[in-house]
Copies of this chain bind each other. A is one copy, B any other.
């Protein structure tokens, strides 16, 4: 089985964005606030939005299941208030649940959290619990910078985040560390802010003892770990200069990287320097880069092709494609079984 651990519902019917427009218009003029959270999206619309995109690519590329969450750029935690974020997260998560219910073989849900800048992340516990216990979700996306490019909240290793981590551990769900859109003109979202968010989070984890406090807490750092594998010597060296334990002991029981790196040399580097147990297959399709690479004639984000080309034992490839995801997402095995039975 091939599990893609990083897919967003980037192709949701436009009614979702129309709702969002009305919701944000309501911040300026309460009379424009949506009167219902019913998006008016039919099952057929959902099917159509997926059949020609995510499902088509799953079939063409030969992947089986996508761990699926709302559009990351759409979370926009920096916009509006904590209540804006609460309502918006719930709606986006419910839509993911409909996707997973319509296509139980193809998608397993991961939720958006109702974060808001300056608001302690404990406010996300209710929505996380609802998504896991009521909707069968198996993880969450955690935004290390709810301010959208100004990095005003504390680092992920601060006790500020601990109540949420306690709940994650209790529910046995990991978080993918994933920023949202950038409202800072210095940062292009998918080209700078996303990658910087990944790099920043990893360095935060190096400097602290978060995993001594939470030995079973797990994070996936997407986009191949940002800059980290390319600078693996730098990170090993920085940890050493700071008298931290070797990274393998310090972080690699808790921190994992996905394979959203859009060329073969990058994937080769990733699989060469990072232990195979810490790599989870992912493509982020339909996502950041949509085009076809003229050098290969294939989609940039068809990451399975790169992994298929790598010199590696079949057993190790199975870990990347399936085994590691089943370990990191503690609820995935059960979720897959239940869906097959449904």
For A240, A273, A289, the residue with the greatest tally of chain B CB atoms inside 10 Å of its CB is A289
The answer to whether B300 and A265 touch across the interface, beta carbons within 8 angstroms, is no
A162 touches B (CB below 8 Å) = no
Task: State how many residues of chain A have any CB contact under 8 Å with chain B.
Answer: 56
Cβ-closest 6 pairs across A and B: A233-B263, A233-B262, A227-B227, A237-B289, A230-B230, A191-B203
User: Residues on A close to B: CB < 8 A?
Assistant: 144-145, 149-151, 153-155, 184-188, 190-192, 195-196, 199-200, 203-204, 206-207, 223-224, 226-227, 229-238, 240-241, 261-263, 265-266, 268-269, 272-273, 288-291, 293, 300-301
Among B144, B150, B207, B238, which residue has its beta carbon within 8 angstroms of that of A151? Answer: B150
Q: A180 to chain B: closest CB distance in Å?
A: 15
What distance in Å separates the Cβ of A89 from its nearest Cβ neighbour in chain B? Answer: 23
A151 near B186 with CB under 8 A, answer yes
| CB neighbours of A207 from chain B (8 A) | 188, 191
Across the interface, A203 reaches (CB within 8 A) one of B188, B199, B262, B266, namely B188
Residues from chain B with a CB closer than 8 A to the CB of A229 are 230
| A135–chain B nearest beta-carbon distance, Å | 31
Chain B residues positioned under 8 Å from A192 (CB to CB): 196, 199-200, 203-204
> Please, how many angstroms separate the alpha-carbon atoms of A151 and B301 in the complex?
30
Apart from A234-B300, A237-B290, list 9 A-B contacts with CB within 8 A.
Answer: A151-B184, A186-B200, A190-B234, A227-B230, A229-B230, A233-B263, A240-B291, A263-B273, A265-B273
Tell me the bound Cα distance from A28 to B273 in angstroms: 49
- Verify A263–B232 contact, CB threshold 8 A: yes
Q: How far is the CA of A117 from the CA of B233 in the complex (A)?
A: 32
B235 touches A191 (CB 8 A): yes
Asked whether, in the complex, the Cβ of A234 is within 8 Å of the Cβ of B150, the reply is: no
CA distance A231 to B224 in the complex (A): 9
The answer for the CA separation of A226 and B234 in the assembled complex, in Å, is: 11
Q: B230 to A224, Cβ gap below 8 A?
A: yes
Identify the closest chain B residue to A300 (Cβ).
B237
The distance from the CB of A214 to the nearest CB of chain B, in whole angstroms, is 19
Kindly report which residue of chain B lies nearest to residue A303, judged by CB atoms.
B233
The reply to whether B230 and A204 contact each other, CB–CB distance below 8 Å, is no
**Option from B144, B184, B288 in Cβ contact (under 8 Å) with A234:** B288
